[in-house]
């Protein structure tokens, strides 16, 4: 008998390069210890921790804020929901998606469209222009 491992897709936008970092997180991989999802550009990482109270604590990098955001969700929500979005506390823009792989993929496309529309309304031609402006303001 083969058991299908329960898993969920987790995705966040890297604040350094702007790409979505997506991984399937299985229940067994999460119970071992802290799990880190790192962007290939090495500019960010998201952490997931399965706590003793059976809740999952996530630390999600935010492409709008200088600091990551912390969230706590139940394991039932994490593994059973078709789609769940975690927003930036300051802007309300979704920075992380959890759920079924297809639903997360569709949410990413919609989020990209909404972000490009917002950037266009603000006079930016893309995500890189926003990061460039933020970096010059920090100097």
Phi, psi values for residue 15, rounded to 5°: -70, -15
> Which pLDDT tens digit goes with each residue over 48-104?
998 888 899 999 999 889 999 999 999 899 999 999 999 999 989 999 999 999 999
pLDDT at residue number 83: 96
Tens digit of each residue's pLDDT (9 = 90 or more) over 6-59: 789 999 999 998 899 999 998 777 666 788 999 999 999 999 998 888 899 999
Whether the per-residue pLDDT at 122 is higher than 70: the answer is no
Q: What is the rounded distance in angstroms from the CA atom of residue 20 to the CA atom of residue 14?
A: 6
Domain ranges of the chain: 7-107
Q: How many residues does the chain have?
A: 139
**Contact 98/83 with Cβ under 8 angstroms?**
yes
Six-digit token pair at 31? 């119970």
């Amino acid at each position: 008998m083969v058991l299908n491992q329960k898993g969920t897709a987790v995705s966040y936008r890297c604040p350094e390069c702007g790409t979505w970092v997506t991984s399937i997180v299985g229940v067994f991989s999460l119970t071992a210890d802290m799990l880190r999802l790192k962007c290939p550009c090495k500019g960010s990482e998201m952490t997931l921790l399965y706590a003793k109270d059976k809740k999952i604590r996530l630390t999600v990098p935010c492409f709008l804020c200088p600091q990551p955001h912390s969230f706590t969700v139940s394991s039932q929500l994490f593994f059973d929901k078709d789609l769940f979005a975690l927003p930036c506390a300051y802007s309300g823009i979704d920075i992380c998606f959890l759920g079924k792989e297809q639903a997360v993929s569709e949410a990413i496309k919609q989020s990209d469209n909404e972000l490009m529309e917002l950037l266009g309304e603000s006079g930016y031609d893309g995500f890189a222009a926003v990061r460039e402006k933020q970096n010059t303001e920090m100097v």
